[in-house]
Structure formats: C-alpha cells, structure tokens
Amino acid sequence: MGTVHTPTRTPKRITAQGILYFYIFYRVFCANEINKAATQYSTSDIYYRIATMMNSLSLLAALFVSLLCTFASAHVADSRKGLDNDIQPNVTPKRRHLRDMVRIRNAPPESVQFELGTRLVLECEVLGKPAPTVQWMKNGEPVVDYEVESNDILPADPSSFAQLVSKLIVTSANNGDVYTCLATSALNQKSASTTVFTVEGSEEENLLTLQKLFRMPAKPVITSYYTNIFQNIGSDVVLPCRVDSVSKSQVFWQDNNDELVFGNSRMRVLPSGDLLINPLLWQDMGNFTCIAKNVYGKDIQTTFVYPLRPSKV
C-alpha cells in the first residue's frame, strides 16, 4: 500500500487579496476626505502638500498590491509543482465576485429648515455595483434636470463599482415639501428623504431676500461626480461632472498626469461635462479632476480611477 500524505495546515497569512480589499476600503472611505481637505487650501499650503503626498502614497500602494498579486500567483504555481502526484485537490477554489448592490452611505438630513432668499444644498452619497445613479424626487415627482434630459448617458458597465456624490440645489420650496434621493444600481434601489420646513418672514423681508438672491453672484456647483470608480480594463468609462450654475459656465478636465484633456484620441469631454475614456487602460489609474468655472468662481472635484483586470470565466 502506498503512503498517504496528509497535507499539513499552515497558519493563515496576509494575502494579496486581503491587502487589495484594505486598499479599496482606504480609497472609498478615506481618500475622499483627504481630497476634500486638499481643496480647502492653496497649492502652497502645507495641508495641501500633505493631502497630495497621501494620494501619491495610495498610488504606490496600488502598485505594490499589483506586484504582490503577481508574486503570490507565481509562488502558488511553484508550490504546486512540489506536491506529491498522489494528492489531488478535491475542491477547486472559486473566484469571489462582488454582488450587485447599492447603498446610501451619506443621506441628506431627515428634516431641514429653509429660509426664503437662500440656497439649500441637499447631498446624497451612494455606493453601488454597477456604478449607481441618483434621481431626485420632489413630493414623489422627478426633479427634471440636465442629467435626465441628456442623450449622452451611457449605461454603467457591469464590472464597475463606484461611489457617487449627488447634490440638489433648492432655491424655492413650500413648507412640508419632501425631497427624496433615489439611488439605483442594476435592479437594486435605495432611497432617503428630507422634509423641508420653510422659515417665513414679513412681506418686506421676503421681497428684500428675493432681490438679494437674484443679485447675489454665485460660483458653479458640481452636482454629480464619482469620488472613486473601479472598472475593467478595456471597457468604456464615463466620469460624470454635472454643473449647476446661474450664469454660463465652462467645464475642463485634467487627466491623471494633471494635464488638460484636449486632443486625446481616447478621452473626450462630452457636451454634458462628463469625461468619456474609451477604452480604459491600466495607465489611466489615478486622479481625474473636473473644473467648473464661471465669472464668479469655480468648483473642483476629483475622481480616483482604478482599472481592474477582467476576471477569467
């Protein structure tokens, strides 16, 4: 009778997959706050430099994870060569896939006071696979905006996983109006609602505040953008950048090398302000920046793009 070799169990170690999950967690839950902090300071400020350094370190971490995954795969292949021929694995490990999902990470407040003559900004932050979309509702009816009417919206790639921020600018409301953030990803939906309570003043005060509102210069506000997106290499990806502006505004994009997107055969700014990357390559990993400008100022938002290697079926 042949000798049966029983494989010994080895202690669990930190794998490349575990590090990758940690890195994705960092990008989704931490890097966005760092980028928000960076936009509050000038490029010469020490806080801006610290935020930039953290983003650079995150890119180095991504490179490290990629190299570690390659090394781990080679190590597993070499170790299999040394196994006894009599030992056959009885279970084939299955590759894990993230299921379709949608979740509202940061919802607008349940109730808020609105003063006539001011602008109210409602914000909804959503995670989803595939990349989610947000439709705002007022008292159960869709709030029609340019994003809904635009014809250049492409369906989300099934491989995409994204974190979306959507803002609604409210300039007029009645007492008790209910605004709802409706998040959708594939067949999944989540919603969160806000009830607006108006603060009434005298007729003279209301007239003065209305006059002030129409005279008040306002910089543009980027109302829809990804903070992070993970998507397969070779697919087409659209990075949203929708703008609310009382005056005519312009939208510019900077690529992951901080160069203005212009004359690039793979990258194109759509009429809506979104950036189309066709196709997505590994070299596109990094921060893409949307800049919206009008005569009163500008708004800047950054999207981190992580190209994924397509899974083998």
Q: pLDDT tens, 226-283?
A: 999 999 999 999 999 999 998 889 999 999 999 999 989 999 999 999 999 999 999 9
**Please, which residues bridge with residue 276 across strands?**
238, 268
Distance CA 230, CA 160 (A): 5
Residues 104-113: pLDDT tens digits? 999 999 999 9
Number of C-beta neighbours around residue 297 at 10 A: 12
| CA distances (Å), origin 140, targets 113, 137, 143, 190, 192 | 20, 5, 9, 14, 12
Which tens digits make up the pLDDT trace of 107-132? Answer: 999 999 998 878 899 999 999 999 99
What is the model's pTM?
Answer: 0.68
- pLDDT at position 218, please? 86
Q: What is the mean pLDDT of the chain?
A: 77
CA distance 160 to 97: 12
Distance (Å) of CA 230 to CA 63, 133, 161, 294, 304: 15, 15, 5, 31, 9
Residue 163 pLDDT: 97
Q: Which range, 42-51, 54-63, 66-75, 290-299, is most confident?
A: 290-299
* Predicted local confidence at residue 23, as pLDDT: 54
Nearest alpha carbon to residue 193 among 142, 138, 141: 138
For the chain, how far is it from start to end, CA to CA, in angstroms? 40
User: CB burial class (10 A; 0-12, 13-18, 19+) of residue 103?
Assistant: middle
Task: List the Cα angle 223/216/116 in 5-degree steps.
Answer: 80
Confidence of residue 82 (pLDDT cuts 50, 70, 90): very low
**pLDDT tens digits for range 4-35:** 554 444 444 444 455 555 555 555 555 555 55
Q: What is the mean pLDDT of residues 162-170?
A: 96
Return the pLDDT at 168: 96
Is residue 226 within 8 Å of residue 267, measured between CB atoms? no
